[in-house]
Structure 1
Amino acid sequence: MEPEELSFVTIGPEHMAEATEIYNHYVKHTTVSFHTEPLTVEEMTRNTLHGDSRFASYAVMQDERMQGYILITRHKNKQAYDVTGEISVYLKPEATGRRIGRPALQFIEQKAAENGFHSLVATICSENGPSRQFFERNGYEQSAYYREIGQKFGRWLDIVVYQKLVAGGH
């Protein structure tokens, strides 16, 4: 069953409260995010609306309601890395499993290619099996595994980095 029509709009101030709520769910209840304290709307706005159109964020809309958001962020703040973007997909908990993730990922990959990116990476907590499987099913390959890189909920956590080469680049 395909989802009802999805659209992707550049995230703006009108989306910040809802995007913050979505993100903070993952901060408070999961190891999807390595933040340990919820973000304020102001912090989320600073992290998301930074003015560089190559590193853009988009609201995932369905039936005129925000279902999540997707973003490309800077992989490293050094010029040679400008051909690589780090991507993230955050959906409302009730929107997961509804076949929204794949079209959202395809959209952000297309935007990345249009903006000259050559490589995309996704950094995922190793215990997040569904996200790891999602990226693997969509052509990403594991390129790194870092052990005990963070602590949350009183546990050491590992991260896995997945990578995909996309059209574009220099």
Structure 2
Amino acid sequence: MNGKTEANALQVIVRLAREDDLPRLNAIYNWAVENTAATFDLERRGPKQALDWFASHQDEFYPLFVLAAGSDIAGWGSLSPFHTRPAYRLSGEFSLYLAPEFQGRGLGHVLLCHLCDEAGRLGYHTLLGLISGSNTASLALAGKHGFREVGRYSEVGWKFGCWQDVVVVQRLWASAK
């Protein structure tokens, strides 16, 4: 079964995250911390850190979404500030994480489609992603959604006993000021 068909069969929805989603969202993120180079965090995020992170995504311009598959939360995605200086306001950064049991089933596609649609609706001019160079699945996913590699930071993160690159991907929209 291909990923897109499987995602449709799961009857997924994307919705705004709620505070009561935090334990599951944090579990998904902490799994990535311990098992992947998708994040360069080296320690699990605790409940207080998760609550602070959730609070930082309560601005309509920087939303946090969950991807629900049936009665479970399969993953989450967010739009965040690219930089804090005001001139960067229309530039954002996306993040998305899937629970391991939902990976490879087309759900990243569903979530990134939603994030791109929201960025366009909100008037973003550009959306960037910072993806580990070893994360070939995420790099391919971004490419399928019109992101192109615009830079690479070589050997900037040390995780799992080796240096990790960060690939900067970018998608532009023709938006007004």
TM-score (norm: length of structure 1): 0.94
The 3 A distance-change label for structure 1 pair 169 and 162 is: farther
> Which residue identity does 1:6 align to in structure 2?
V
2:12/2:69 contact within 8 Å kept: yes
> RMSD value over aligned CA atoms?
1.3
- C-alpha distance in structure 2 between counterparts of 1:99 and 1:107, whole Å: 13
> Which residue identity does 1:79 align to in structure 2?
P
Partner of residue 22 from structure 1, selected from 24, 28, 43: 28
Name 2:64's counterpart in structure 1.
Answer: 57
Query: Cα offset for 1:38?
Result: 0.5
Q: Does 1:83 align with 2:90?
A: yes
1:115/1:168 contact within 8 Å kept: no
Gaps of 5+ in 2: none
Partner of residue 118 from structure 1, selected from 119, 122, 125: 125
TM-score (norm: length of structure 2): 0.91
Partner of residue 132 from structure 1, selected from 127, 132, 139: 139
Name 1:149's counterpart in structure 2.
Answer: 156
SS in 1 for 2:32: helix
Name 2:11's counterpart in structure 1.
Answer: 5
- C-alpha distance in structure 2 between counterparts of 1:167 and 1:58, whole Å: 24
- C-alpha distance in structure 2 between counterparts of 1:44 and 1:169, whole Å: 34
SS in 1 for 2:89: helix
- C-alpha distance in structure 1 between counterparts of 2:60 and 2:159, whole Å: 32
The 3 A distance-change label for structure 1 pair 167 and 133 is: same
Query: Cα offset for 1:2?
Result: 4.1
Name 1:41's counterpart in structure 2.
Answer: 47
- C-alpha distance in structure 2 between counterparts of 1:45 and 1:116, whole Å: 27
Gaps of 5+ in 1: none
Query: Cα offset for 1:168?
Result: 3.3
SS in 2 for 1:107: helix
SS in 1 for 2:110: helix
2:154/2:165 contact within 8 Å kept: yes
Paired residue total: 170
Structure 1's consecutive aligned runs of 4 or more residues displaced over 6 angstroms after TM superposition are: none
CA deviation string 1:36-92 (max 9, x = no partner) = 000012212211222311111001012132110010011111111111110011111
- C-alpha distance in structure 2 between counterparts of 1:118 and 1:89, whole Å: 20
> Which residue identity does 1:30 align to in structure 2?
T
- C-alpha distance in structure 2 between counterparts of 1:111 and 1:41, whole Å: 27
> Which residue identity does 2:59 align to in structure 1?
D
